[in-house]
Amino acid sequence: MALSLRTLRNAWTVARLEWQLEWRQGHQLAAVGLFAVASVYVAFQASDQRTDPASWTAMLWLVYLFSGFTAIGRLFDRERSDVRRYLQWTADPLGLILGKLFHSILTTTALTALVLGAFILFLGWPQGAGELTKPALLVLGAWLGGLSITVTLVFVSAVASQVRAGSGALGAVLGLPLLLPQLILSTRLTRGALSDTPWAILAEYPLFLAAISAGTATLACILFPYIWRA
């Protein structure tokens, strides 16, 4: 798997195509946004505007997780039929997966803004969190944690899209256990960022999350050609 200029150009094309389709069709993005906002609103109603940092974190990552499933779960559905046959001849698999991974970075950024924004708008900061001393760490943690989740979901939805019947439920069954390490790290990081834990102790979490994202992305790139070459 040589990483040539052509592969990169391919990747760029795929990512741009995904993004354009996303905007032009609109309904996918709107669905994710609606899902995120609606679930935050449910959390807001259920918690009576009073949340402690632990449940705030739990709700944040639950909403993030399922928004991620909604956003990434159907990423490979377009490559199922005729388009797939066409792409198999023209795009090389490495370019395709790199494009999808790049797309997942954009999705993560949008999701982070959306989910965090909705949380602050509806729920505000958790009670007892005191002065928020590390807003940068909170945002960085949400973004990195989200990235590690979406990258894994890209791989899972690539596998699930190969199964002809009922790939939606399969994505969740295969994905949830694989996402546990990322979720453990993300929730600890968010809780730390909301409390008065010093920076130095929390610094290893973003590093570990970045390493997991990079590792899973590399693994996805290595394994994807085997899924693709049918």
Residues in the chain: 230
Question: What is the DSSP code string of 46-61?
Answer: HHTT---HHHHHHHHH
Nearer to other proteins, 121 or 204 (CB): 204
Taking only Cα atoms into account, the Rg of the chain, rounded to an integer number of angstroms, comes to 18
The upper half-sphere exposure of residue 57, i.e. CA atoms within 13 Å in the direction of its Cβ, equals 20
What's the min distance (Å) between Cβ of 228 and other proteins? 10
- Closest approach of Cβ 64 to other proteins, in Å? 18
CA distance to 71, 107, 147, 221, per residue, from 118 (Å): 17, 16, 19, 33
> Given the complex with other proteins, which of 32 and 212 has the nearer CB atom?
212
Closest CA to 187 of 133, 123, 153, 142: 142
Task: Report, in Å, the least distance between residue 44 CB and other proteins.
Answer: 28
Write down the least CB distance from residue 30 to other proteins, Å: 30
Q: Which is nearer to other proteins, 110 or 221 (CB)?
A: 221
| Nearest residue (CB) to other proteins, 17 versus 219 | 219
Applying CB under 8 A, the residues found at the interface with other proteins are: 152, 155, 159, 162-167, 170, 173-174, 176-178, 180-181, 184-185, 188, 208, 212, 215-216, 219-220, 223, 226-227, 230
